[in-house]
Structures are given as C-alpha cells and as structure tokens.
Amino acid sequence: MGNARCITVMATAAVKAAFRELVPLFEQRSRCEVAPIWIPTMDMLHRLESGEVVDLILLSGETIDALSGKGIVAPGTRTDIVKSRVGLAVRAGTAKPDIGTAEAFKRSMLQAKSIAYSFGPSGIYIVQLFERLGIATPLGSRARQVKGVPIGELVANGEAEFGFQQVSELLPVPGIEIIAQLPAGIEKVEVFATGLHSKALQPDAAREFIQHLVSAQAAPILRGTGLEPFGEARPQ
C-alpha cells in the first residue's frame, strides 16, 4: 500500500471471519495496513505480559479490564465492540441433543461420548458451567479442552460428538450443525472489547480502526458472521 503506518492487533478468533471483510474495507479507505495476530488467548496473554507491544487488543471485556489493571492496556481506552454467544455444534446429519432446558442440557451432556471446547472465553465458561451443574466429575476425560484447533473441525471429523465455541467461530466450519443458543439460565453472552496498548506505536491509526469496527458499515458484516454489534437489540 505504500503507507508506513501498520496497526498490529491481537484479537480473539471470534472476530476472525468478520475481519476478513472489515480489514480490507478499512485498508482501502485509510491506506493503513492492519496486521491481525491470531493465536490462542492464553498465548496472547503470555506474550503481552512478557512485554510484547501491539497497537490494539481485542478480547473479552473482562480481559481488557484486567490488562488495564496491569498497565498493558491504556486506562480509559476500552471500547465494547460486539456481543458473542457460545454455541453447541454437532456433526452434520446426526441428531441434535435436547437442550431445551438446563436439566435437559445436563442429561444430554452426561449421555455424550465426547465433548470438546477451547481454552478461550467459551471454553473457560464451559468448564465453569460443568462444575456448576455437577457434571464435571462424571464426564471426566470425555470432556476436554483443546488448544489451537477449531472446535468445529473436531466435531466435523468425528473426534468429538459435541463441541462448544463462540457461534462466530463455528459458523465457517463445514460439516457441522449449530445450536446457536443455550437454554435460559445457562446461556453465555460474551462482550468483546478493544483496548489500546499503553505503548502503542500507532495509537491514532488504532483509534481510527476502532471507529471502523463500531460503524454502521461494519454492523451488517458483524451480524453476518454470528456477532451482535454492541448495543444493538437482538431480534426476538
């Protein structure tokens, strides 16, 4: 592009599909390149806490707040971008489990041959949920966290009967069917937010990119990839 400005962004994979469309639109308009870094959340946090500097961080709102408390994210720069729901995937053509109520969900999980979930926010929530429902111990090794592999792929190839991940991460995976909403009482809606790194090299360009993410132009792209622009009412 011939422009020296380049924003580095450490971002949750929940927005990866949306970024495939949003980043080129921004680059064309601003002539500013965006370099997303797609790595597991745990690795991201390790690198940031070890001193790696990027311009922008896009993770769960809770994580952005925690990083702000550690001086990694500049105070007062959190901007909420999207809401994201945890979904359940099964292999295409197989029966969908009954998860109409919390009790039905619990029974279906206990009957599962294998369950996979990530080390990201969705996986952390599923671990906590299974413990809260009292099924973590009975499930034992049938339920496992997997790092660095899209959960939908494990379901599609038969390595896991059920898979949990952000709906936006499941949607691009062929060969699966998705239940996009968990039952009332155990549904998880995650808010993903941006925060400027306290040592950002291109803070002004990063702020421009944030405005792009919350723009009216971005909203239909976010919705089309399974995300809800923050503050937007969800259709009933």
Domains and CATH numbers, the chain: 6-83+191-229 (3.40.190.10), 84-179 (3.40.190.10)
Q: Mean pLDDT, to the nearest integer, of 131-135? A: 96
Tell me, what amino acid is at 162? F
pLDDT band at 235 (very low <50, low <70, confident <90, very high): very low
Neighbour tally for 157: CB within 10 Å: 11
Give yes or no for residue 3 having a pLDDT over 80. Answer: no
Give yes or no for residue 236 having a pLDDT over 60. Answer: no
Q: Mean pLDDT, to the nearest integer, of 72-94? A: 96
Beta carbons of 171 and 224 less than 8 angstroms apart: no
Q: Which pLDDT score is estimated for 209?
A: 96
Tokens of 217: 């132009």
The rounded distance, in Å, linking the Cα atoms of 122 and 165 is 5
Where is 37: in which H helix or E strand? Answer: strand 33-37
Among candidates 112, 106, 119, 120, which has minimal Cα distance to 90? 112
Q: Mean pLDDT, to the nearest integer, of 166-188? A: 92
pTM assigned to the model = 0.86
Q: Mean pLDDT, to the nearest integer, of 192-198? A: 97
Give yes or no for residue 74 having a pLDDT over 90. Answer: yes
- Three-class SS state of 123: helix
Query: What does pLDDT average to over the chain?
Result: 93
- Torsion angles phi and psi, residue 231, rounded to 5: 90, -5
The rounded distance, in Å, linking the Cα atoms of 169 and 19 is 12
Where is 35: in which H helix or E strand? Answer: strand 33-37
Q: From its phi and psi, is residue 175 left (phi > 0), alpha (psi between -120 and 50) or beta? A: left
Per cent of the chain over pLDDT 90 is 86
pLDDT band at 2 (very low <50, low <70, confident <90, very high): very low
Q: Mean pLDDT, to the nearest integer, of 146-167? A: 94
The rounded distance, in Å, linking the Cα atoms of 170 and 86 is 9
Q: Mean pLDDT, to the nearest integer, of 94-123? A: 94
Place of tokens 């680059």: 27
Q: Mean pLDDT, to the nearest integer, of 190-215? A: 96
Burial status of residue 223 (CB atoms within 10 A of its CB: 0-12, 13-18, 19 or more): middle
